[in-house]
Amino acid sequence: MSIIEKAINLANGKGARGRTGEVAVDSQFMPVRAGAEGPAGSAEALPAAESAVTGAGSATPGEGGAQRRGPRTSRTVTIDVQRLVGLGIAPGPDIDRQVHARITEEFRRIKRPLLINAFEQGPGAPPGGNLVMVTSAVAGEGKTFCSVNIAMSIAMERDRRVLLVDADLQRPNVAQVLGIPGDRGLVDLLEDPALDLSDVLLQTDIPRLSVLPAGKRHPYGTELLASNAMKELAAGLSERYPDRLVLFDSPPLLAATQAVVLVEFAGQIVVVVAAGGTAQDAVTEALALLDTKKPVGLVLNRYPRMFQPGYY
Ligand SMILES: Nc1ncnc2c1ncn2[C@@H]1O[C@H](COP(=O)(O)OP(=O)(O)OP(=O)(O)O)[C@@H](O)[C@H]1O
Ligand SMILES: [Mg+2]
């Protein structure tokens, strides 16, 4: 029995509610045209309610001139999709390319149960189901890679939106991967009660995809993520944007207490497991840290077509 099978069995044995999926992810992706569902730069206007979610809730307008009037608008950034394709990211509808079509389909399979758990379960839905944590046992398993690809895949849904949050404050990488500015983001929002989400959120030119980078480096990331500000931010994101999936690219479960803090907020958890790379003990230990009442999904990354050209 493979590591992943054992891990899945373990998750089942622990009574995890509705696995989000176990999917083999390969290294090649099909291209998607930025703005394919609308002209480049035509990102949807930020809803007025966006400005209602603040970093620390009790937003006392602080020094630094944060007392603003009227609706705030977030910045729009352009994503170089061809560059992403080079990184193996950006699923799209190019069905002529069989390999890419297969990978796109795999991310569809990953996102589908996430969407169902988040939006379609009615009264039995997991609380905060639209807050999804993407994590792994140890570093370098492909969390950011999978987070970005899941976000892209959800952005293709016409009636859903996705906010990708870089919550890996130790090894933030989302902005770099997407080629967008990452100097301000989550840390700044949590630290400064005068900021609101729209001040740091980046709306992208890919319709329905927005990004909250990690922002500046902070020596006390765990404390920030455990703060009331984070609790309020998570609750605000979940409740105020019921049509939106919020994906948290998170630190590895075994490497940092930061991840364990995030487990508390997330309504669903995706655990990325690198094929042939993660020791069974590590997967077991990581799964033991999760709340068994929450839906937990396992994504097997870089499996199993390792002898094909282009394999990562
Ligand atoms: N299936 C895949 N196909 C191609 N490249 C991949 C795949 N999975 C991961 N990678 C690449 O492997 C490297 C590590 O992946 P990634 O940064 O997503 O891991 P991570 O878990 O986020 O790491 P960290 O713990 O440092 O944040 C990246 O260069 C990424 O592009
Ligand atoms: Mg990462």
Where do the domains of the chain lie, and which CATH numbers do they carry?
Answer: 3-57+73-301 (3.40.50.300)
C-alpha–C-alpha distance, residues 248 and 211, integer Å: 10
Closest ligand 1 atom to residue 27 Cα is 3
**Predicted pLDDT at 100:** 61
Closest ligand 1 atom to residue 87 Cα is 31
C-alpha–C-alpha distance, residues 281 and 6, integer Å: 10
C-alpha–C-alpha distance, residues 307 and 259, integer Å: 33
Q: CA torsion sign, 181 to 205 to 111 to 14? A: positive
Closest ligand 1 atom to residue 173 Cα is 27
**Predicted pLDDT at 240:** 81
**Predicted pLDDT at 99:** 53
CA of 232 to the centre of ligand 2 (A): 24
Task: Identify the nearest ligand to the CA of 272 by its number.
Answer: 1
Residue list, ligand 1 pocket, CB within 6 Å: 25, 27, 87-88, 136, 139-145, 168, 171, 173, 252, 301-302, 312
CA of 70 to the centre of ligand 2 (A): 36
Task: Identify the nearest ligand to the CA of 87 by its number.
Answer: 1
C-alpha–C-alpha distance, residues 136 and 108, integer Å: 20
CA of 268 to the centre of ligand 1 (A): 21
**Token pair belonging to 229:** 């500000």
The answer to whether 191 touches 224, Cβ cutoff 8 Å, is yes
**Predicted pLDDT at 98:** 54
Mutate to test the pocket of ligand 1, among 135, 144, 165, 311 (most ligand atoms within 8 A of CB): 144
**Predicted pLDDT at 1:** 52
Closest ligand 1 atom to residue 148 Cα is 18
**Predicted pLDDT at 83:** 83
Closest CA to 162 of 243, 245, 250: 245
CA of 71 to the centre of ligand 1 (A): 37
Closest CA to 291 of 111, 91, 82, 135: 135
Splitting the chain (312 residues) into consecutive groups of 10 residues, what average pLDDT does each group show? 50 44 37 27 38 42 42 85 78 50 81 92 82 95 94 91 95 96 96 93 94 93 90 90 93 88 92 88 93 91 50 34
User: Residue 48: left if φ>0, alpha if ψ -120 to 50, beta else—which one?
Assistant: alpha
CA of 238 to the centre of ligand 2 (A): 23
Task: Identify the nearest ligand to the CA of 274 by its number.
Answer: 1
Nearest Cα residue to atom 9 of ligand 1: 142
Mutate to test the pocket of ligand 1, among 102, 176, 312 (most ligand atoms within 8 A of CB): 312
CA of 302 to the centre of ligand 1 (A): 10
User: Residue 2: left if φ>0, alpha if ψ -120 to 50, beta else—which one?
Assistant: beta
CA of 141 to the centre of ligand 2 (A): 8
CA of 122 to the centre of ligand 2 (A): 33
Question: Rounded to the nearest 5 degrees, what angle is found at the Cα of 282, between the Cα atoms of 281 and 284?
Answer: 65
